[in-house]
Amino acid sequence: MFLRNAAVIAALAMTAGCVQERVVHERRVVERPAPRTEYVEVVAPQAPPERIIEEEPAPRPGYIWARGYWHWNGNRYVPVHGHWETVRPGYRYQHPYWESRGDGWHYHVGVWVN
């Protein structure tokens, strides 16, 4: 019994330092077109609440603060807090807003325009 245990221990000791080396191949860069994003028009049956009041952070070089807005979730308006947008030279940021039309209130997303 002692010899069998000694043989097992010796085999474990010999294989404990073994390392398997994997061959890593260079990966090709595959360019794919950007995924198409679907635009969903949001129309609310009632006017949004007054503009969200939030403390605007101090300016950051290279960024603009996109103000918070009210989002219609299908039943009611819920607040969405502001966030930083990276500045795009030659463009100006148009903040999200709601527009009243005959069939309700239409939401316009924040976008960069030139």
pLDDT digits (tens, 9 = 90+) for 9-18: 666 566 655 5
Spatial CA neighbour of 71 closest among 19, 28, 37, 110: 110
Q: What is the pLDDT of residue 69?
A: 93
pTM higher than the cut 0.95: no
Tokens of residue 13, six digits: 């000791």
Task: Summarize pLDDT for 81-91 with one digit per residue, the tens.
Answer: 999 999 999 99
Average pLDDT of the residues in 58-77: 93
How far apart CA 88 and CA 20 sit, in angstroms, is 48
Residue 92 corresponds to which amino acid?
Answer: R
Q: What is the pLDDT of residue 4?
A: 66
Q: What is the pLDDT of residue 56?
A: 86
Structure confidence at residue 22 as a pLDDT band (50, 70, 90): low
Across the chain, where does the E strand assignment appear?
43-44, 63-66, 69-72, 77-80, 83-86, 92-94, 97-101, 104-108, 111-113
How far apart CA 86 and CA 63 sit, in angstroms, is 4
Structure confidence at residue 31 as a pLDDT band (50, 70, 90): low
